[in-house]
Protein backbone atom coordinates (compact mmCIF):
# COMPACT_ATOMS: atom_id res chain seq x y z
CA UNK A 1 0.00 0.00 0.00
CA UNK A 2 1.38 3.40 -0.98
CA UNK A 3 1.59 5.81 1.97
CA UNK A 4 2.03 9.59 2.18
CA UNK A 5 2.98 11.30 5.44
CA UNK A 6 1.94 14.87 6.28
CA UNK A 7 3.99 16.94 8.72
CA UNK A 8 7.01 14.80 7.94
CA UNK A 9 9.51 16.78 10.03
CA UNK A 10 7.36 16.84 13.18
CA UNK A 11 7.67 14.43 16.09
CA UNK A 12 4.80 12.22 14.94
CA UNK A 13 5.76 12.62 11.28
CA UNK A 14 9.21 11.19 11.92
CA UNK A 15 7.80 8.34 13.98
CA UNK A 16 5.34 7.50 11.21
CA UNK A 17 8.11 7.51 8.62
CA UNK A 18 10.14 5.14 10.77
CA UNK A 19 7.15 2.84 11.17
CA UNK A 20 6.32 2.76 7.45
CA UNK A 21 9.92 2.05 6.48
CA UNK A 22 9.95 -0.96 8.83
CA UNK A 23 6.61 -2.33 7.62
CA UNK A 24 7.09 -4.59 4.58
CA UNK A 25 3.40 -4.38 3.65
CA UNK A 26 3.56 -0.59 3.23
CA UNK A 27 5.56 1.66 0.91
CA UNK A 28 6.47 5.26 1.64
CA UNK A 29 5.88 7.15 -1.62
CA UNK A 30 5.82 10.74 -0.35
CA UNK A 31 6.44 12.88 2.71
CA UNK A 32 5.72 16.57 2.93
CA UNK A 33 5.75 19.53 5.27
CA UNK A 34 5.17 23.27 5.23
CA UNK A 35 7.27 25.23 2.74
CA UNK A 36 9.15 26.97 5.57
CA UNK A 37 10.43 23.70 7.02
CA UNK A 38 14.19 23.36 7.02
CA UNK A 39 13.82 19.73 5.93
CA UNK A 40 12.37 20.38 2.46
CA UNK A 41 14.51 18.57 -0.11
CA UNK A 42 16.10 16.23 2.41
CA UNK A 43 15.73 12.45 2.39
CA UNK A 44 12.73 11.58 4.57
CA UNK A 45 14.49 8.47 5.81
CA UNK A 46 17.45 10.51 7.04
CA UNK A 47 15.11 12.05 9.62
CA UNK A 48 15.03 8.65 11.33
CA UNK A 49 18.49 7.40 10.34
CA UNK A 50 17.35 5.23 7.39
CA UNK A 51 17.80 6.97 4.02
CA UNK A 52 15.11 5.80 1.60
CA UNK A 53 15.35 8.02 -1.47
CA UNK A 54 12.04 9.80 -0.80
CA UNK A 55 12.63 13.54 -0.48
CA UNK A 56 10.54 15.73 1.81
CA UNK A 57 8.46 18.07 -0.35
CA UNK A 58 6.11 20.98 0.18
CA UNK A 59 3.53 20.26 -2.52
CA UNK A 60 0.65 18.49 -0.78
CA UNK A 61 -1.22 17.87 -4.04
CA UNK A 62 1.63 15.96 -5.64
CA UNK A 63 2.36 14.04 -2.44
CA UNK A 64 -1.23 12.95 -1.87
CA UNK A 65 -1.88 12.15 -5.55
CA UNK A 66 1.00 9.67 -5.49
CA UNK A 67 -0.48 7.75 -2.55
CA UNK A 68 -3.29 5.36 -1.75
CA UNK A 69 -3.52 6.62 1.82
CA UNK A 70 -2.45 9.80 3.61
CA UNK A 71 -1.58 9.67 7.30
CA UNK A 72 -2.09 13.09 8.87
CA UNK A 73 -1.20 14.08 12.45
CA UNK A 74 -0.91 17.85 11.93
CA UNK A 75 -3.28 20.71 12.82
CA UNK A 76 -7.01 21.04 12.05
CA UNK A 77 -6.68 23.67 9.31
CA UNK A 78 -3.90 21.78 7.53
CA UNK A 79 -5.69 18.45 7.83
CA UNK A 80 -8.86 19.89 6.30
CA UNK A 81 -6.88 21.36 3.40
CA UNK A 82 -5.30 17.95 2.81
CA UNK A 83 -8.74 16.34 3.07
CA UNK A 84 -10.01 18.40 0.15
CA UNK A 85 -7.09 17.21 -1.96
CA UNK A 86 -7.62 13.59 -0.93
CA UNK A 87 -11.30 13.65 -1.89
CA UNK A 88 -10.27 14.68 -5.40
CA UNK A 89 -7.41 12.18 -5.76
CA UNK A 90 -9.33 9.34 -4.11
CA UNK A 91 -6.68 8.64 -1.47
CA UNK A 92 -7.90 7.35 1.86
CA UNK A 93 -6.97 9.18 5.05
CA UNK A 94 -5.89 8.25 8.54
CA UNK A 95 -6.54 11.33 10.68
CA UNK A 96 -4.81 11.59 14.05
CA UNK A 97 -5.19 15.36 14.33
CA UNK A 98 -7.24 16.57 17.32
CA UNK A 99 -8.89 19.86 18.27
CA UNK A 100 -11.51 19.99 15.50
CA UNK A 101 -14.62 22.12 15.98
CA UNK A 102 -18.05 20.55 15.46
CA UNK A 103 -18.30 22.27 12.07
CA UNK A 104 -14.91 20.91 11.03
CA UNK A 105 -15.91 17.41 12.10
CA UNK A 106 -18.95 17.65 9.87
CA UNK A 107 -16.69 18.42 6.92
CA UNK A 108 -14.82 15.20 7.63
CA UNK A 109 -18.10 13.27 7.83
CA UNK A 110 -19.12 14.71 4.45
CA UNK A 111 -15.77 13.74 2.90
CA UNK A 112 -16.15 10.18 4.18
CA UNK A 113 -18.97 9.69 1.69
CA UNK A 114 -16.33 9.92 -1.05
CA UNK A 115 -13.22 8.34 0.50
CA UNK A 116 -12.37 5.95 3.30
CA UNK A 117 -11.31 7.68 6.53
CA UNK A 118 -10.14 6.33 9.87
CA UNK A 119 -10.28 9.10 12.45
CA UNK A 120 -9.43 8.62 16.10
CA UNK A 121 -8.22 10.81 18.96
CA UNK A 122 -5.61 8.19 19.75
CA UNK A 123 -4.35 5.33 17.57
CA UNK A 124 -2.45 3.37 20.23
CA UNK A 125 -3.92 -0.12 20.47
CA UNK A 126 -3.71 -0.13 24.28
CA UNK A 127 -5.57 3.17 24.50
CA UNK A 128 -8.37 1.85 22.34
CA UNK A 129 -8.67 -1.23 24.51
CA UNK A 130 -8.90 1.20 27.44
CA UNK A 131 -11.88 2.90 25.77
CA UNK A 132 -13.64 -0.47 25.83
CA UNK A 133 -12.64 -1.19 29.43
CA UNK A 134 -13.92 2.24 30.51
CA UNK A 135 -17.23 1.55 28.80
CA UNK A 136 -17.58 -1.83 30.53
CA UNK A 137 -16.70 -0.30 33.92
CA UNK A 138 -19.15 2.57 33.50
CA UNK A 139 -22.03 0.25 32.61
CA UNK A 140 -21.28 -2.11 35.49
CA UNK A 141 -20.62 0.51 38.19
CA UNK A 142 -23.44 2.82 37.16
CA UNK A 143 -24.60 6.11 38.62
CA UNK A 144 -23.36 5.40 42.15
CA UNK A 145 -19.73 6.04 41.11
CA UNK A 146 -18.40 9.53 40.38
CA UNK A 147 -16.25 9.84 37.26
CA UNK A 148 -13.07 11.93 36.94
CA UNK A 149 -10.65 11.82 34.00
CA UNK A 150 -7.01 12.88 34.43
CA UNK A 151 -4.60 13.21 31.50
CA UNK A 152 -0.96 14.24 31.20
CA UNK A 153 1.08 15.25 28.14
CA UNK A 154 4.31 17.00 27.20
CA UNK A 155 4.66 20.76 27.54
CA UNK A 156 4.36 21.36 23.79
CA UNK A 157 0.79 20.04 23.44
CA UNK A 158 -1.48 22.92 22.44
CA UNK A 159 -4.99 21.61 23.21
CA UNK A 160 -6.61 20.57 26.50
CA UNK A 161 -8.21 18.32 27.49
CA UNK A 162 -6.60 15.89 25.09
CA UNK A 163 -8.70 14.35 22.36
CA UNK A 164 -8.20 10.99 24.08
CA UNK A 165 -9.55 12.32 27.37
CA UNK A 166 -12.58 13.76 25.61
CA UNK A 167 -13.16 10.43 23.86
CA UNK A 168 -13.00 8.66 27.21
CA UNK A 169 -15.58 11.13 28.48
CA UNK A 170 -17.82 10.46 25.50
CA UNK A 171 -17.53 6.70 26.01
CA UNK A 172 -18.40 6.93 29.70
CA UNK A 173 -21.21 9.44 29.17
CA UNK A 174 -22.79 7.25 26.50
CA UNK A 175 -22.55 4.17 28.74
CA UNK A 176 -24.24 6.11 31.56
CA UNK A 177 -26.83 7.70 29.24
CA UNK A 178 -25.58 11.22 29.96
CA UNK A 179 -25.06 14.28 27.79
CA UNK A 180 -21.34 15.04 28.03
CA UNK A 181 -21.94 18.66 27.02
CA UNK A 182 -23.99 19.14 30.18
CA UNK A 183 -22.04 16.81 32.45
CA UNK A 184 -18.46 17.89 31.72
CA UNK A 185 -16.56 19.96 34.30
CA UNK A 186 -13.13 21.23 33.24
CA UNK A 187 -10.91 21.68 36.28
CA UNK A 188 -11.99 23.29 39.54
CA UNK A 189 -10.95 26.43 41.36
CA UNK A 190 -12.18 28.39 44.34
CA UNK A 191 -15.40 27.72 46.24
CA UNK A 192 -17.05 25.30 43.88
CA UNK A 193 -19.59 23.78 46.24
CA UNK A 194 -20.28 20.07 46.42
CA UNK A 195 -19.74 17.92 43.39
CA UNK A 196 -22.75 18.04 41.11
CA UNK A 197 -24.50 14.76 40.54
CA UNK A 198 -23.79 13.11 37.15
CA UNK A 199 -20.84 15.40 36.41
CA UNK A 200 -17.73 14.08 34.64
CA UNK A 201 -14.54 15.91 35.58
CA UNK A 202 -11.56 16.57 33.30
CA UNK A 203 -8.09 17.55 34.52
CA UNK A 204 -5.05 18.26 32.34
CA UNK A 205 -1.36 18.11 33.27
CA UNK A 206 1.30 19.55 30.95
CA UNK A 207 5.03 19.18 31.48
CA UNK A 208 8.35 17.83 30.31
CA UNK A 209 8.33 15.10 27.68
CA UNK A 210 5.34 13.06 28.89
CA UNK A 211 4.13 11.15 25.83
CA UNK A 212 0.63 10.52 27.12
CA UNK A 213 -1.11 9.23 30.24
CA UNK A 214 -4.85 8.83 30.84
CA UNK A 215 -6.75 7.65 33.90
CA UNK A 216 -10.49 7.27 34.37
CA UNK A 217 -11.37 7.26 38.06
CA UNK A 218 -14.66 5.71 39.18
CA UNK A 219 -15.02 6.78 42.83
CA UNK A 220 -17.73 5.14 44.91
CA UNK A 221 -18.51 4.77 48.59
CA UNK A 222 -15.77 2.62 50.08
CA UNK A 223 -14.00 1.71 46.83
CA UNK A 224 -12.40 3.24 43.78
CA UNK A 225 -11.80 1.75 40.36
CA UNK A 226 -9.12 3.26 38.10
CA UNK A 227 -8.51 2.43 34.45
CA UNK A 228 -5.11 3.75 33.35
CA UNK A 229 -3.06 3.62 30.18
CA UNK A 230 0.42 5.09 29.76
CA UNK A 231 2.08 5.58 26.40
CA UNK A 232 5.86 5.50 26.68
CA UNK A 233 6.63 6.00 22.99
CA UNK A 234 5.00 7.73 20.05
CA UNK A 235 5.61 4.54 18.12
CA UNK A 236 2.48 3.10 19.77
CA UNK A 237 0.44 5.76 17.96
CA UNK A 238 2.29 5.16 14.69
CA UNK A 239 1.81 1.38 14.74
CA UNK A 240 -1.91 1.84 15.33
CA UNK A 241 -2.11 4.36 12.49
CA UNK A 242 -0.39 1.89 10.15
CA UNK A 243 -2.95 -0.77 11.09
CA UNK A 244 -5.65 1.78 10.29
CA UNK A 245 -4.11 2.49 6.89
CA UNK A 246 -4.04 -1.23 6.07
CA UNK A 247 -7.68 -1.49 7.21
CA UNK A 248 -8.68 1.10 4.59
CA UNK A 249 -7.34 -0.97 1.71
CA UNK A 250 -10.31 -1.86 -0.49
CA UNK A 251 -12.71 0.44 1.38
CA UNK A 252 -13.77 3.13 -1.09
CA UNK A 253 -15.71 5.25 1.41
CA UNK A 254 -16.84 5.43 5.02
CA UNK A 255 -15.87 6.92 8.36
CA UNK A 256 -14.26 4.50 10.80
CA UNK A 257 -12.39 4.64 14.10
CA UNK A 258 -9.90 2.37 15.84
CA UNK A 259 -12.70 0.39 17.45
CA UNK A 260 -13.63 -0.68 13.92
CA UNK A 261 -10.01 -1.41 13.01
CA UNK A 262 -9.53 -3.60 16.11
CA UNK A 263 -12.93 -5.29 15.89
CA UNK A 264 -14.09 -3.80 19.21
CA UNK A 265 -17.09 -1.86 17.87
Choosing from 22, 42, 132, 157, the catalytic residue is: 157
Q: Annotated catalytic, 203?
A: no
DSSP β-bridge partners for residue 215: 150, 228
| β-strand pairing of 184-186 with 200-206 | parallel
pTM, 2 dp: 0.83
Q: Per-residue pLDDT tens, the chain, 265 aa: give them.
A: 999 999 999 999 999 999 999 999 999 999 999 999 999 999 999 999 999 999 999 999 999 999 999 999 999 999 999 999 999 999 999 999 988 999 999 999 999 999 999 999 889 999 999 999 999 999 999 999 999 999 999 999 999 999 899 999 999 999 999 999 999 999 999 999 999 999 999 999 999 999 999 999 999 999 999 999 999 998 999 999 999 999 999 999 999 999 999 999 8
pLDDT in tens, 242-254: 999 999 999 999 9
Q: Where in the chain is the domain with CATH 3.40.50.720?
A: 2-119+234-261
CB-based contact 80:104 (threshold 8 Å): yes
**pLDDT recorded at residue 61:** 98
**CATH number belonging to domain 2-119+234-261:** 3.40.50.720
Under CATH, what is the fold of the domain 125-231? Answer: Dihydrodipicolinate Reductase; domain 2 (3.30.360)
Separation of alpha carbons 145 and 138, rounded Å: 8
CB-based contact 225:151 (threshold 8 Å): no
| β-strand pairing of 224-231 with 2-6 | unpaired
pLDDT in tens, 98-143: 889 999 999 999 999 999 999 998 899 999 999 999 999 999 999 9
Q: Annotated catalytic, 153?
A: yes
Main-chain phi, psi angles of 85, to 5 degrees: -65, -45
User: What single-letter DSSP state applies at residue 66?
Assistant: T
Choosing from 82, 153, 167, 214, the catalytic residue is: 153
| β-strand pairing of 146-153 with 212-219 | antiparallel
**pLDDT recorded at residue 265:** 80
**pLDDT recorded at residue 121:** 85
Amino acid sequence: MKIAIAGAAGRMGRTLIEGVLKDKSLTLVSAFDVATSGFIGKDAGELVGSPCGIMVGSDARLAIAASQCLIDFTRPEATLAHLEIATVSGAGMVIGTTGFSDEQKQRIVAASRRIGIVMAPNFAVGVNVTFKLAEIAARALGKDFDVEIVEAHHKHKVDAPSGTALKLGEVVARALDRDLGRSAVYGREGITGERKENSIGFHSIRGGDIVGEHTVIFAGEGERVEVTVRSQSRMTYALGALRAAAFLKGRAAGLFDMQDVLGLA
